A and B are shown apart, each in its own frame.
Chain A
Amino acid sequence: MTTITMTVNGKERSGKAEGRTLLVDFLRTEMGLTGTHVGCDTSQCGCCVVHVNGESVKACATFVSGMDGAEVTTIEGMANDDGSLGVMQASFKEHHGLQCGFCTPGMIMSATDLLANNPSPSEDEIRTWLKGNICRCTGYHNIVKSVQAAAATMAGAREAAE
């Protein structure tokens, strides 16, 4: 067991890890952040997606050892500072982009990363990007709508700021 220290959702946190400890288990058990889910054991479903140093990664396929000093954001860190829902979160709620909610944290983390890289993706680009996130409930229709709407909201906010 070694102690790993990282910045999680803006706060410095430490926890114990074995060599085989996965980031997802570390977050769920050591950090008590259960919003990151496990939906498969072949790194395909994306229920576990978090951001490490600003990029989306599958926490089920990432060992914690060697992550000392990393900056990690999970779904619990996606709300605004005043506690209101972040743009992507609000958009999923507004457009019924979730049903059971199990894939949702990973979807939101993944979609947020997409918009960071490509602020106005086409429908095809959204669908292609999300191939690593499986949702069994929604048929993706409203997820695509949620991401499109979030992109529009963010574009509006950028324009207003300019």
Chain B
Amino acid sequence: MAKDFGIGESVKRSEDVRFVTGNGKYTDDINRPGQTYAYFLRSPVAHATLDSINIDEAKKAPGVVGVFTGQDIADAGLGGVPCGWQITDKHGDPMKEPAHPILAHGKVRHVGDPIVCVVADTYAQARDAAEMIDIDFGQLPAVVDMKAAAEGNPTNVHDEAPDNVCYDWELGDKEAVDSAFAGAAHVTTLELVNNRLVANPMEPRCCIGDWDSSSDDYTLYTTSQNPHVIRLLMGAFVLNIPEHKLRVYAPDVGGGFGAKIYHYAEEAFVTWASKQVRRPIKWTSDRSEAFISDAHGRDQVTKAELAMDAEGKFLALRCDTLANMGAYLSTFAPAIPTWLHGTLLAGQYATPAVHCRVRAMFTNTVPVDAYRGAGRPEATYILERIVNKAAKELGLDQCELRRRNFIRDFPYDTPVAVQYDTGDFDKTLNKAMEISDYANFEQRRQEAASRGKLRGIGLSCYIEACGIAPSSLVGALGARAGLYEAATIRVNPTGSVTVLTGSHSHGQGHETTFAQVVSDALGIPFESVDIVHGDTSKVPFGMGTYGSRSLAVGGSAIVKAVDKVVEKGKKIAAHLLEAAESDIVFEDGQYKVAGTDKAKAFAEVSLAAYVPHNYPIEDVEPGLEETAFYDPKNFTFPAGAYLCEVEVDPETGKVEIIDLFAADDFGNIVNPMIVEGQVHGGLAQGLGQAMLENCVYDEEGQLTSGSYMDYAMPLAGDLPMFTVSSEDGTPCTHNPLGVKGCGEAGAIGSPPALVNAVIDALRDHGIEHIDMPLSPNRVWSAINAASHKQAAE
């Protein structure tokens, strides 16, 4: 039996051996015979007309096999990079959806916009040749600041959007909110910036286009979280290649965090151009290029208002948000500040009325799309910051104010269009208070004060919607695809199992977790289960991995396919055991005749299916392989309470994170070790956002944080050991595993916890808010300004 490897066990990861020995196979490790290399010449300016492009010299340079411009792409009749989600604005009109050419044509709209691609025998030759290209830019003013753009900017990024607004969207009952505010005893207001981030998976993007002259088939090797989505978007909308002629393969992928969901221009280019040059083409991004070509994350500014009664009960929440789309619409971009953000604004609270307005703005910056959490960190940040500010204004403890407002009856219909199926917010808050020894914080504060340090503790109670999502629902909301997941269970003749999944693992450990699920369900050894993913020529049409959906949706598809295998096995076993099918039960890897000791092992039945000599061949087909598509019934709702404890050095403004206490409710858990690892990673990214990371453009639209010299990635020395707990969750009520997803929680819950902790540490300075990241400079400046103000009073 497989108990040591079953559901709930911290099984060590089977994928690790290849990674710790250097045998992982990432896209850049693949080389095709006769391969050439692409170098993209990118715009050095944020906004300009392309007045002339001279490629004559480059074409003659050593090793060059092709030089392509936007005109070549237009002449070939290729489509632009498509957007996968259409938002309908508050007037019922579709969002503005300007073209996003593969190579810029006529105009460039952000630093990094690709203009020319040089293909050569070596990468160095391609880059050298690109230096010979002459381009005349007709420089235009750049639209960089969203607020300025919203207040009327004479320049527009796209002619289709004269006011630079992609859409003006709203959700919730405005009248109910207005009347609740009119009768409120107390109103708290807060304006905050959700800082722009760069996802920065450690493996830069890479792709190889490989056209096969004998079959006229194309293969794209790429660093993707969802190869079938890329095949669909690129084949159908850009290159017009039917699916059966196009294979997309994403082998080992070195982290994604959202940035590798999207279909990028480089993928379409190398695929198309490999036929033009009749050789494979590889492109590998370097890090500086990644900063100006990978989709960025976050970048919202919000004005929030919370109305309360005299007891601190929340009556209504009102939010007005500007969300940056960048220069073009990336694959999921329009959905992030709307359906993944507005719908989470109830949080853990029974606020009866919520209204949010979101204006999505075009700017001359890199496109902005989902980054770990995607919309939900922004919603959580707004809510958890304003609740703490309200607690301070009302003189209530941060935990107490939340408790007065927790939702306690499930299922719960929020005023922002989603239904929470289950949860226990008191329990996670209690847990966080317990593991952080919240009750004795005051002593620790005093002890720190004796050392000249300001100690603070900050709470954040998050909820997120994961496992995206029922296809009919997302279809109604504007998604241009279904969001089910697919799995095939291929039982091999001797009883081992190959699982073909549409989910994609780029660090999440699916090869282990999914094998545990199958091993547990079939009662076969963990080692007998192999997980295959990432190759459209092998796995069924699936939607991939993002939004913490893999186990909740992909795992459910696996369970469904396993059930089908077991059902078919019962028919075969009934024949072999000469019993009625209705008397066969499947337990512990055995088909048994109920109430007897007659049994056939799983492997015996599998063998019979492939060697059907003694077999119910009239009624049952040979073979044992089943495919299932699972369409989720609802989102899942992981939730939790995070307490962050910090010390601030008032002399330098430096924030030291003492600990981050995370109490999460992820429902059931398959592999606790992997779940904890996911939380740790999410926390590092969330704390990175809150304390270190900031993607900054200057007024001209130049990226001033374009490398690891200026973009502060969290390093080992910036972070503490974390204290995390995710036991005894409330199982999700609508998927077969009862799981909710854990990949994004850390990044969602931790930023407000850290900011709340720092504001708490500075309580005697009368500082109400500091925008992220809380760098020493910002914290010190806030302390300094507050001291001057206090001295003046």
Contacts and interface: CB of A to CB of B under 8 A. Distances in A.
A76 B717 CA distance: 28
Contacts of B124: 20
Interface string B246-259: 00000011110100
Interface residues of B, number: 57
Nearest to B678: A99
B200 interface: yes
A128 B715 CA distance: 9
Given A75-B21, A102-B202, A105-B22, A40 B16 contact: no
Given A42-B709, A96-B13, A144-B716, A35 B24 contact: yes
Given A39-B204, A100-B507, A131-B715, A137 B288 contact: no
Given A134-B713, A136-B201, A142-B677, A100 B20 contact: no
A76 B24 CA distance: 11
B698 interface: no
A102 B26 contact: yes
Nearest to A88: B20
Contacts of A141: 680, 719, 721-722
Given A98-B19, A102-B203, A103-B202, A42 B707 contact: yes
B447 to A, nearest CB: 20
Given A100-B201, A102-B254, A75 B22 contact: yes
Contact of A79 (B21, B28, B286, B717): B21
A139 B662 CA distance: 14
Nearest to A147: B716
Contact of A37 (B13, B21, B26, B508): B26
A136 B715 contact: no
B287 interface: yes
Contact of A130 (B257, B708, B715): B715
B24 A135 contact: no
B47 interface: no
B15 interface: yes
Interface string B269-312: 00000000000000000111000000000000000000000000
A41 B707 CA distance: 8
B23 interface: yes
B683 interface: yes
A123 B678 CA distance: 21
Contact of A139 (B201, B708, B719): B719
A129 B248 CA distance: 40
Contact of A98 (B20, B200, B707): B20
A14 interface: no
Contacts of A28: 29
Interface string A64-81: 000000000011101100
Contacts of A105: 20, 22
How big is the A interface, by class?
35 or more
Contact of B708 (A33, A42, A76): A42
B675 to A, nearest CB: 10
A89 interface: yes
Interface in A2-51: 20, 28, 33-42, 44-45, 47
A45 B204 CA distance: 12
Query: Which of B674, B708, B716 counts the most chain A CB atoms within 10 A?
Result: B716
A53 interface: no
A78 B20 CA distance: 9
A134 B715 contact: yes
Nearest to A79: B21
A99 B202 CA distance: 11
B575 interface: no
Contacts of A130: 715-717
A45 B714 CA distance: 11
Could you say which of A92, A96, A133, A138 has the most chain B C-beta atoms within 10 Å of its C-beta?
A96
Interface string A142-154: 1110000000000
Please provide the 8 A-B residue pairs with the shortest distance between their CB atoms, ordered closest to farther: A35-B22, A102-B254, A101-B19, A100-B507, A139-B684, A75-B22, A99-B507, A139-B680
Interface of B: 12-13, 15-26, 28-29, 124, 200-204, 252-255, 257, 286-288, 506-509, 673-674, 676-678, 680-685, 707-709, 713-717, 719, 721-722, 746
9 contacts: A40-B708, A42-B709, A93-B16, A99-B508, A101-B16, A101-B254, A104-B19, A130-B716, A140-B715
Given A41-B286, A98-B19, A136-B681, 19 more contacts: A34-B26, A35-B24, A38-B28, A42-B708, A42-B709, A45-B708, A76-B23, A96-B677, A100-B252, A101-B15, A101-B16, A101-B20, A102-B203, A104-B19, A105-B20, A136-B684, A140-B719, A142-B680, A143-B716
